[in-house]
Amino acid sequence: MRVLVTGASGSGTTTLGRALSRELEASFFDVDDYFWVPTEPPYQQQRDSSARLSLLLADLAKAPQRLKCGFDNVVMMRTRLGGRSEDNNN
């Protein structure tokens, strides 16, 4: 199972994603954790796109059931809906 929660900053995607991951017993990945380099105060320095992708793919490979949250175009997700495959590349 793969679930993608997407929305603008401050719209509640992280809150919803965490709640869904608990309910579905799935791993949770917040895009902010990959997009931003940890700084104090936070959200001051963007991570290079190749580093974002490497970090995210490494974490996704470790989790068979996962929930990804945020707004980006780093990874295209594939899911099954109503018995047919949906792909946002089509």
The 10s digit of each residue's pLDDT in 33-51 is 999 999 999 889 999 999 9
Cα separations (Å) of 49 from 13, 31, 63, 67?
A: 21, 12, 21, 20
Indicate the pTM of the whole model. Answer: 0.61
For domain 2-75, the CATH superfamily is: P-loop containing nucleotide triphosphate hydrolases (3.40.50.300)
pLDDT value of residue 37: 95
